[in-house]
Amino acid sequence: MYNYEEIAANVEEIRKKMQTSLGGANRQVTLLAATKTVPPEVINYAIDSLGITDIGENRVQELLDKYDALHLDNARLHFIGSLQTNKVKYIVDKVCMIHSVDSEKLALEIDRQARKHGIIMDVLIEVNIGREENKGGVMPEDVEALADKINELDGLRLCGMMTIAPKCGEKSEYFKYFDKTYQIFIDILQKKLHNINIPVLSMGMSDSYEEAIACGSNMIRVGSSIFGARSYS
């Protein structure tokens, strides 16, 4: 059962912490609501009543099940989860951005499906900054090569980078991962982004968004801190 007053209070608290984390820096940070397992009516409340402009789904089937019920006239739908090549065709005409491009094979399939629809798909390169075997993402040393490949494809527009930091016992431990990601973003990726006014650095989730913003993130993906602990069936 979702408590709308609690959700509203949570969003207000997150926005305050976002401002504090900026430390006076004059830049915009997008709050993307991660909506895995959250029903459409609750998502629509966040869009319509709380001014949430960006939402993100992790699973293709769940996205498809919710899609027609979402109030997407007032919000942008992102795909933020791991994406198999054979599922690209189902979402390429429904999302504004795919955050999880981590191979040339996936980039080629997104390009193929996007061109079928006559669209250009905005994408982020997912970086496995913690070098974790059980996580998706390209290794840091391979970011530049993948960026170059994506820039050869007419159906894709490379907009930036995404990372999921390893789970850290202490909040301060997140800084080393986010600092490393920011350095790759500045040193390599920004030079590869053509005609992108504001490159996207998507990092930081419910347990780490304050640290991520302090390290330069301009998009955070927050789920449980908005909607409460998830209930997975």
Distance of alpha carbon 217 from alpha carbon 200, whole angstroms: 8
Q: CA 19 to CA 17: how far, in whole Å?
A: 5
User: E strands within 40-155?
Assistant: 54-57, 76-79, 97-101, 121-127
Place of tokens 């789920």: 223
Per CATH, the number for 4-226 is 3.20.20.10
**Residues 154 and 141 sit within 8 Å (Cβ to Cβ):** no
Least confident piece of the model among 54-63, 102-111, 184-193: 184-193
The pTM assigned to this predicted structure is 0.94
The yes-or-no verdict on residue 45 having pLDDT over 70 is yes
Amino acid at 182: Y
Beta bridge partners of 123: 98, 158
Instruction: Indicate the domain borders of the chain.
Output: 4-226
- Residue 24 — pLDDT band, cuts 50, 70, 90? confident
**pLDDT (tens digit per residue) in 211-232:** 999 999 999 999 999 999 866 5
Kindly report the average pLDDT of the chain as a whole number. Answer: 95
